[in-house]
Structure 1
Amino acid sequence: MLHNIGEWNPQLFREIQGRLKPKTISIVTLASIIGQFLLFVYFKGMLTLKEGNYSRYCTGIVEGNSYNSYDMCNLDLWGNVQIIKELWWLDLFITMSIMGVFILLVVGCYMLIADVSKENAKNTLNFIRLTPQSAMTIFGGKILGVPILVYLFGILAVPLHSIAGLKANISFPLILAFYGLLAVACFFFYSASILFSLVSTGLGNFQAWLGSMVIFFFLSTTVGVIMNSPTFSNMSFDWLLLFNPVIFLPYVVKSTFLSPQTINYFSLNGLNNLSFYGNFWWKNAFFGSLFIITNYAIWTFWLWQGIKRRFHNPTDTVISKYHSYLISACFIVFNMGFTLQQINYDRQNESLIALQVFNFFFFLLLIPTITPHRQTLQDWARYSHENSVSSRNKMADLLLGEKSPSPLSIIVNVSIVTLYLIPSVLIFSYGEDKLSYTIGFLFSGMMIIIYGIIFQLFLTVKNQKRNLIASASISSLIFSPFLTLIILGAKGTEYNIIWLFSAFPLVGVDLTYPLSMLGVFLTQAMIIITSNYQLKRVLNKAGISETKALLNDRVSSLS
C-alpha cells in the first residue's frame, strides 16, 4: 500500500514514512483514548444527581424564581432520577465537535506552517522545486501527510462521537455532512497556512505560532457568536461566520427535536435570519451547506493560485494583476451580499461603515500581494528604458504585466469595488444621505490608492529592510488620523475633516461642508499625482542606471 502511495504522491509517502512510527502511533492512540475516557467520565459525573438537585438534564419544573435556570431533579416510580438522556448525549457530541474543530484546525495549521518554514530555513524547498512534481502534488502531499497524527487522533474519536450523535437522535446523514464540511474547512485553512508560510518567510520560528494563534482567535470569537447569539449582526461581519465549520451545528441541534429553551445554545434563529441579497439560503440545511462549501471552494481556489505562483518563483508577487481583478470582483459581490441583509433607517449607517471596514482590510491584504519589489522593478525599468514601446502596449503592461509597478492595478481594483458598490448603495439605501455615502466611499477609494502608491514607492528604497519601512510608513498613515483625533479629544464625529483623511471617511462625511470636501478631494488628488510622479522619476532613474551598468560591464568584458 505504501508503495502505491509513493507512486501516486512521493511527497505524501515521505511524510507518512517520517511520521508514522510505532512510537508516535502508540502515543497518539493512547492520548486520544485517554482523552475520550476522561471527557466521558467528566460528563458521566454530571449525572450523579439526587432528588432536589438542580441540573439542565433534569425534567422537573420549578415554580417561581429559582436561583438558577436549571430544573429540579425528580424521581420516577422506581426511585431513579428522571433525566433527559438525549440532551446529555447532545452536550457530549457538541463538546467533542468543537474540540475536534480546534484540534484539527489550530494544531494542523501549526504543524503545516512549522514544516514549510523548516523546509525554507534548510533550503530543502528549493530542491523540491527542481523536481517535476507540481505544486498541487507537493503541497497536497503535505496537507495529507504533515498533520497525519492529528488525523489519527480525530479518527479514533469518531466512534464515540458518532454514537453520541445517534443517541441524541441526530440523523446519521447530518453527522456525515458535518464530517464532510469539516474536511472542506481543513483544506481551506491548511491551504491558507501553506500560503502564509511561503509569503512570511522572515518571521522564523514565530511564523507557526503567529498563524495558529490567529486561527485560534478567529475560531474562538466566531464560535462564541454562533453558539450564544440568538441572531447575527445582519452586516458584513456575518460573512466571517461561514468560514467556521461550527456554523453547521445549529442544524444538528435542531434535528434532535429538543426544545431550544432546553438546549440553550446553537439556536437556528441566526441562520434562519441570515440572508444573501435577500435570499435566505440557510433556512434549509442542504442549501445552507451548499453555500458554505461554495464559499470555501471559491477562496480555496484563489489561495492555490497564490501557492502555485510563490512555489515556482518565490520572488513573484503572490497573485497576478489579472487574478487580482477577479478576486476584487468576488470579494465585493460577497461583501455587498451580506451588507444588504438589513439596510434600514436604524442601522443603515452601521452596515455601510462595516462594509467600508471590510473593504479597507481587504485592500490592506491585496496591496502587498500585487506589489513587486525593488529588483523586479529595476529589471522592468531597464527593459522599458532599452525597448521603446507604444503607449498602448505600455498601458497593457501596467495593467497585466508581471513585473510592472502596481499603482494602476490598484486603481483598477479600487474602481471594480467602487463601481459595484456605489450603484448598490444608491439603489438599496434609504433617506437623503445617498450622496454622502457615495462621497464617503469615493474618499475611501482615494485613500486606498494613496496607501498603495506610497507602499510601492517605499519598496524601491535601497535598503535591506524596505519591507519593514514600507509597512511602518503605511501604518503611520493609517493610525495618524485616529491619533490626532485622540490628542484633540474629539467626541463622536467632531473634527470630521480629519475623518476624511482616515481609512473610514464615511464616519465624518455627513457633517462636512461641501467646500471642505472639495479641499480634501483636491489634496488627496495632489498626493496621488505627486507620489505617482515621484515613483515614475525613481523608476526612470533606475532604468538609466541599470542600462549604464550593463553597458559598462559589456565594454569591460570586450576590452
Structure 2
Amino acid sequence: MMPNLIDKIGDWNPQLLRELKGRLKFFNIAIAVATSLLLQLVVFLYQFREFPDDKYSLTNTYCRLSQPYQQRHNQALQQSDQSRIAEYNNSILNNICPQNEIDWQLWWRDHWEYIFLTLSVIFVFTLLVAGTYLIINDLAKEETRGTLNFIRLSPQSETSILTGKLLGVPSLIFLVILVSLPLHLWAGSSAQIAFTYIFSYYAILAASCIFFYSTALLFGLVSSKFSGFQPWIGSGAVFIFLIIPILMAPASSYNSNNSVVWFTLFNPVDTTNYLFPNFFHITNGSPLKNLDFFYLPIGRSFLSIIGFHLLNFGLCSYGILQALKRSFRNPQTSMINKGQSYLFTAFSQMMMWGFILQHWEQITNVDEQIEQSLTLVGVYNFISLFSFIAILSPHRQAVQDWARYRHQEFSSRKSVWQDLIWAEKSPAIVAIAINLAIVSIPWLVWISLTSVIDTDYNPNWAHDNLDRLKILSSVALSISIIMIYATIAQLILLLKTRKRSFWAIGTIGVVTFLPPVILEFLGISSWKYPTVWLFSTFPWAALQHSGAATIFMAFLAQLSVLALLNFQLTKQVRLAGESATKALLAGR
C-alpha cells in the first residue's frame, strides 16, 4: 500500500516526492513524533501545579464557599473593622475548602481550555516561524549546491515545483502538528468550544501557512545576496510580527480604528483572540469585534470576519504566486510587471481606505484617529511607490532592446503609449504616473466628500476650504516630486556605468532624506522658512505656513524640472535605440 501511495505522489508531483524522500527518514519521523508527544505531556501536566489539593484555600476560584467568605471580608473592609478583618484572615488560615465543595467540573473545563489555547499558540508559532525558516534555508542550500538551477530546468510547471516545496520542506513540522491534533480537538471539545470555531481556526491557520510559506519562497528567491542570514532574517521577522499582538494586548494599546488594521488581518494570533476570547484575558474582547469595512460591520459576525480573512489571504497568496512564477524561472526579472503593479496598488488602496471609512460616531477622538489613519496611508504609499520605482524601472539593455526593436511589433498595432503603459522593457515613468493616479483618486474623493459628510464624525481640519486647498496642493506637490525621483532613477539606470542599481538607489536616497536633514541641522525649520521646504521631499510640512501664490510657484518649478528631466530621458532613450551603424555614422 505504501509503495502505491508513493508512486501516486510521484506521478502527481515529482518535486514533492523528492522533498519527502529526503526528509521522512525513520530517525527524523521518530524525533518528530517523540517531540510532539513530549510537548503534549508538558502542556497537560503544567496546569496541574494549581491542582486543588488538601490545602486548597477557601478564597480560591473553584471553591464554592469562597463567595460567602469574600462577602464577609468586603463588609469588614467597608466598615474598617480591623478585628473582623483579622478574624476573617484567621478563618482563612485555619479553614481549608472541603474537597466536596470544590467545583471540579469548572476546574477541568478551564484546564482543558488552557491546554487548547496553549496548543493553539504553539501551532501558530511552530508552523509559521519554524516552517518559514525551513523553506528559506532549503532555498539557500539549493542555491549554494547549484541544484536550484537544475530544478529550474525541469519540465515541471512552476506551480508543481513550488507546491512541492511548500508541502514537502516543512513536512516534519506538519507531522509534529498532526500528532498533536487529537489532543487539541479533545481539549476543545472538553472545554465546550464549538467545533465551528475550532475548524475556523484550522482554516485560518492553513491559509496563513500558504501565505507565509509563499512569501518565504519569494523572499528566498530574491534575497540571494544575504546568503547565510536569509533564514534568520525571514523567520525573525515572522516571529516579531506574530508576537506584537501578544505584547500589546495586556495594555489594550491597539485597536481596529486605523488604516493599517489591514496588516493585522495577516496575523492569525489576532484571529485566534477573536475566536477564543479568553486567549488574551481581555475584558473588552478582541478589537476585531468592532471592525468596519466601508461601513460594513464585518466584525460583528463570526462568519463575515472569517470569510473576510480567508478572502484576503486567498487574494494575496494568489498575487504572491504570480510573483513567484516570474521570479522562479528568471531571477533577473522583476517580481511583478506593470499591469500587476496597477492591480496591487488598487487593491491595497481599497483595503486601507475601506478601514478608514467606518462608523466614527462610536469613537471619541475622531479627529485624532482619522488624522493618524491618513498619515499611515501616506507613509505606506510613499514606501510602496518608491518600491515600484526600483522594481519597474528597466536597465539600459532592456530599454535599448525596446527602443531598437519596437518597430518590429507594428503588426500588433501597438502605440508608443500602449508600450509605455504595459511593456516591461519600456521606461517606467508612465507606469509610475498611473500608480500615482490610482493612489491619488481616493484622496481626491475624500477631500471632495468632506463638505457633504455629517460634521459630527468628520474631521474639523477638512471643513475649511483653505485647508482643503492645501491638502490638494500637498497631493500635487507629492506627485510631482515622486515623478522627478522616478525620472532621475530611470536616467541613472540608462548610464553605461557599472552598478547602476546601487547608484540609482543611493542617489534617490540622498536627494530624498539629505536636504531635510541639512535644513533641520542648520535650523531652517518649516515654519520659519516654508518656501525652502516646499522644494524638499516633504513639502506638506510647510504648507500650513505658506501662501497660495508661493505654493503655486513651487508647483510650477517642480513641473519645469520634471519636463526638463523627461526631455533628457526621451533623448537618451532615442540615442540608446539607434543602431550601431547609425551611431557610428553620426559620430557617436
User: What TM-score bracket applies, with the shorter chain setting the length?
Assistant: 0.7 to 0.9
Taking the aligned partners of 2:283 and 2:267, their CA distance within structure 1 comes to: 13
539, 542, 545: which one pairs with 1:511? 545
Secondary structure at 1:532 match in 2: helix
Q: Are positions 1:307 and 2:291 aligned together?
A: no
- Percent sequence identity over matched residues? 35
Query: 8 Å contact 2:116–2:188 — kept in the other structure?
Result: yes
> Which residue pairs with 2:82 in the alignment?
none
Taking the aligned partners of 2:62 and 2:514, their CA distance within structure 1 comes to: 54
Secondary structure at 1:246 match in 2: helix
> Which residue pairs with 1:15 in the alignment?
19
With over 3 angstroms needed to count, the CA separation of the structure-2 counterparts of 1:92 and 1:383, relative to structure 1, is same
With over 3 angstroms needed to count, the CA separation of the structure-2 counterparts of 1:27 and 1:272, relative to structure 1, is same
Taking the aligned partners of 1:493 and 1:98, their CA distance within structure 2 comes to: 50
> Which residue pairs with 1:151 in the alignment?
174
Q: For 1:54-65, what aligned pairs fall within 5 Å after superposition?
A: 60=66, 63=74
513, 520, 531: which one pairs with 2:565? 531
With over 3 angstroms needed to count, the CA separation of the structure-2 counterparts of 1:490 and 1:273, relative to structure 1, is farther
Q: Are positions 1:458 and 2:492 aligned together?
A: yes
Matched letter for residue 355 of structure 2: F
> Which residue pairs with 1:473 in the alignment?
507
Taking the aligned partners of 2:519 and 2:359, their CA distance within structure 1 comes to: 30
363, 375, 383: which one pairs with 1:353? 375
Matched letter for residue 335 of structure 1: M
Matched letter for residue 423 of structure 1: V
> Which residue pairs with 1:415 in the alignment?
437
**1:522-545 Cα deviation digits (max 9, x unpaired):** 333234233333333333333337
> Which residue pairs with 1:97 in the alignment?
120
5+ long unaligned stretches in structure 1 = 66-71, 552-559
Secondary structure at 1:399 match in 2: helix
Matched letter for residue 20 of structure 2: I
Q: For 1:93-492, what aligned pairs fall within 5 Å after superposition?
A: 93-225=116-248, 229=252, 232-254=255-277, 264-265=281-282, 267-341=284-358, 344-384=366-406, 393-428=415-450, 430=459, 431-432=463-464, 433-484=467-518, 486-488=520-522
Of residues 376-385 and 90-99 in structure 1, the stretch that sits farther from structure 2 once superposed is 376-385
Taking the aligned partners of 1:524 and 1:54, their CA distance within structure 2 comes to: 73
| Shift, 1:331, TM fit | 1.4
Query: 8 Å contact 2:113–2:188 — kept in the other structure?
Result: yes
With over 3 angstroms needed to count, the CA separation of the structure-2 counterparts of 1:45 and 1:313, relative to structure 1, is same
Taking the aligned partners of 1:52 and 1:504, their CA distance within structure 2 comes to: 64
Taking the aligned partners of 1:10 and 1:181, their CA distance within structure 2 comes to: 28
Of residues 357-366 and 107-116 in structure 1, the stretch that sits farther from structure 2 once superposed is 357-366
| Shift, 1:170, TM fit | 1.0
With over 3 angstroms needed to count, the CA separation of the structure-2 counterparts of 1:463 and 1:148, relative to structure 1, is farther
> Which residue pairs with 2:32 in the alignment?
28
6, 10, 13: which one pairs with 1:2? 6
> Which residue pairs with 1:556 in the alignment?
none
Taking the aligned partners of 2:479 and 2:408, their CA distance within structure 1 comes to: 35
Taking the aligned partners of 2:227 and 2:8, their CA distance within structure 1 comes to: 35
Taking the aligned partners of 1:220 and 1:227, their CA distance within structure 2 comes to: 12
Matched letter for residue 277 of structure 1: F
Of residues 341-350 and 351-360 in structure 1, the stretch that sits farther from structure 2 once superposed is 341-350
5+ long unaligned stretches in structure 2 = 79-91, 361-365, 451-457
Secondary structure at 1:510 match in 2: helix
Taking the aligned partners of 2:540 and 2:440, their CA distance within structure 1 comes to: 14
Matched letter for residue 543 of structure 2: V
Taking the aligned partners of 1:481 and 1:463, their CA distance within structure 2 comes to: 26
Taking the aligned partners of 2:13 and 2:471, their CA distance within structure 1 comes to: 53
| Shift, 1:107, TM fit | 1.5
Taking the aligned partners of 2:404 and 2:581, their CA distance within structure 1 comes to: 6
Query: 8 Å contact 2:15–2:161 — kept in the other structure?
Result: yes
Taking the aligned partners of 1:385 and 1:531, their CA distance within structure 2 comes to: 25
Taking the aligned partners of 1:354 and 1:335, their CA distance within structure 2 comes to: 9
With over 3 angstroms needed to count, the CA separation of the structure-2 counterparts of 1:478 and 1:148, relative to structure 1, is farther
With over 3 angstroms needed to count, the CA separation of the structure-2 counterparts of 1:180 and 1:75, relative to structure 1, is farther
| Shift, 1:188, TM fit | 0.8
> Which residue pairs with 1:40 in the alignment?
44
How many matched pairs?
539
Taking the aligned partners of 1:56 and 1:522, their CA distance within structure 2 comes to: 72
State the TM-score, normalizing by the size of structure 2.
Answer: 0.82
| Shift, 1:265, TM fit | 2.9
Matched letter for residue 139 of structure 1: L
RMSD, matched Cα? 3.4
With over 3 angstroms needed to count, the CA separation of the structure-2 counterparts of 1:529 and 1:128, relative to structure 1, is same
Taking the aligned partners of 2:265 and 2:499, their CA distance within structure 1 comes to: 37
Taking the aligned partners of 1:548 and 1:320, their CA distance within structure 2 comes to: 32
| Shift, 1:54, TM fit | 7.9
| Shift, 1:29, TM fit | 1.7
Query: 8 Å contact 1:385–1:544 — kept in the other structure?
Result: no
Structure index of larger Rg: 2
| Shift, 1:279, TM fit | 0.9
With over 3 angstroms needed to count, the CA separation of the structure-2 counterparts of 1:57 and 1:176, relative to structure 1, is farther
With over 3 angstroms needed to count, the CA separation of the structure-2 counterparts of 1:524 and 1:450, relative to structure 1, is same
Query: 8 Å contact 1:230–1:269 — kept in the other structure?
Result: no
| Shift, 1:285, TM fit | 0.9
Secondary structure at 1:363 match in 2: helix
Query: 8 Å contact 1:328–1:417 — kept in the other structure?
Result: yes
Matched letter for residue 311 of structure 1: F
With over 3 angstroms needed to count, the CA separation of the structure-2 counterparts of 1:373 and 1:164, relative to structure 1, is farther
Taking the aligned partners of 2:309 and 2:115, their CA distance within structure 1 comes to: 25
**1:287-337 Cα deviation digits (max 9, x unpaired):** 110011111111111111111112233332211211211221111111111
Taking the aligned partners of 1:502 and 1:227, their CA distance within structure 2 comes to: 41
Matched letter for residue 471 of structure 1: I
Secondary structure at 1:509 match in 2: helix
| Shift, 1:478, TM fit | 3.4
> Which residue pairs with 2:89 in the alignment?
none
**1:48-96 Cα deviation digits (max 9, x unpaired):** 675459877778466469xxxxxx9995443665575333433332232
Taking the aligned partners of 2:63 and 2:552, their CA distance within structure 1 comes to: 68
Taking the aligned partners of 1:123 and 1:266, their CA distance within structure 2 comes to: 54
Taking the aligned partners of 1:36 and 1:338, their CA distance within structure 2 comes to: 40
Query: 8 Å contact 1:226–1:241 — kept in the other structure?
Result: no
Query: 8 Å contact 2:404–2:577 — kept in the other structure?
Result: yes
Query: 8 Å contact 1:384–1:543 — kept in the other structure?
Result: no
